[in-house]
Amino acid sequence: MPPIINRNRENISPLLGLFYRTIHLLENGIKPIYVFDGRPPGQKAPLLAKRAESAGDLHQAGSEQSDGGLKRRILDCQRLLSLLGVPYVEAPSEAEATCAELVKSGLAYGSVTEDMDALPFGSSKLIRNLNAEKKGVVEEYSLPVLLTKLKLTHEQFVDLCILLGCDYCGKIKGLGPTRALQLIQQYKTIEGIQENIDLQKHPLPANWNYQEARHLLLHPQVTNLDTVTLQWAEPDEEGLVQFLVQEKFVKEERIRRRLERMRTAAQEAAAAEPRSPSPEKRQTRLQEFFHAVKSPGKREDEESKSCSSSKKQKTEK
């Protein structure tokens, strides 16, 4: 789909995507918490440099301008969330790590992200494909169930993720998923594996900093949750019209019509709900409005909270 460019030659596709996605979640009874990336850890520098190189010289030449544009887009997204009455958190480093911390603390039900790093960071729930489309299947991964099935501790699972490839270091050549899992189950750690495999057949990466990667995944830099206040409020319709219509030149009818649909859905849901539903009769909106999710365990109730990682590169998760 081509980007949506307004009369100021701004690409407002990410902003509108965030608006529609958030409205969709809210009208389905899901309370999102958006988390924005901070400064990436130093261990990620080689990967980011490789991505920049693959983008070509044009990207490099325009990096200063694009960085400025990126900051403006992030501020626009944060302003939009405030007008929608949705809280957001600015992570000091990787957004998925702070998402995992929110889940571990009980402030969020699960981490909504396409990045599997949320699991080694310690998020007990990872939710993928949760978007504004009803065609796909929402996928939910349970870290405790995963560890039980793999017969691994969390520390061993982190070592397995490093062996399979992560953002923070290289990996041993020639080890596929099945073999890597067998080795971790048998020797417990990367150190134990190194002592028992043929290093001629499976050479180690040069200057392999797997211990730093392990520490980063087990003890990541996260937002101090004592400083975080999570509050949801009613959307500010006139503020949204001022921002999206007057400043970003979106058609007013589109914005007001979508907000009206959200209010109608909320009213219908409130009217349909019994005043004191028993826990066994409650149904999660995730199940009502999306295709069934294959996941063990009970689902969160209709007031479920989700933590959404918002990557700087996309400004919208």
**How many angstroms separate the CA atoms of 117 and 158, rounded?**
10
Bigger pLDDT: 221 vs 64: 221
User: In the chain, what percentage of residues exceed pLDDT 90?
Assistant: 68
Report helix, strand and coil shares of the chain as percent, to nearest 5: 50, 10, 40
Res. 110: pLDDT tops 70: yes
> Residues 41, 47, 51, CA angle at the centre, nearest 5°?
125
**How many angstroms separate the CA atoms of 223 and 92, rounded?**
6
Note the pLDDT tens digit of each residue in 227-278. Answer: 999 999 999 999 999 999 999 999 999 999 999 999 998 888 778 876 654 4
User: In the chain, what percentage of residues exceed pLDDT 70?
Assistant: 81
Res. 128: pLDDT tops 80: yes
Note the pLDDT tens digit of each residue in 65-108. Answer: 467 788 999 999 999 999 999 999 999 999 999 999 999 999 99
pTM across the whole model = 0.83
* pLDDT band (50, 70, 90) for residue 116: very high
The answer to whether 80 and 19 are in contact (CB under 8 A) is yes
Pairing verdict, β 139-142 and 125-128 = antiparallel
pLDDT on residue 270: 77
pLDDT on residue 296: 38
Note the pLDDT tens digit of each residue in 279-290. Answer: 343 333 444 433
Neighbours of 66 (CB within 10 A): 12
**How many angstroms separate the CA atoms of 23 and 25, rounded?**
5
Report the residue count for the chain.
317
DSSP three-state, residue 306: strand
| Averaged pLDDT of the chain | 85
* pLDDT band (50, 70, 90) for residue 141: very high
What one-character DSSP code corresponds to residue 11? B
Q: Any idea which of 44-58, 155-169, 204-218 has the lowest mean pLDDT?
A: 44-58
Res. 208: pLDDT tops 50: yes
* pLDDT band (50, 70, 90) for residue 54: low
Dig out the tokens for 176 from the structure: 């596929």
pLDDT on residue 133: 64
Dig out the tokens for 47 from the structure: 């990967």
Domains annotated on the chain, with CATH: 13-143+222-272+282-310 (3.40.50), 146-218 (1.10.150.20)
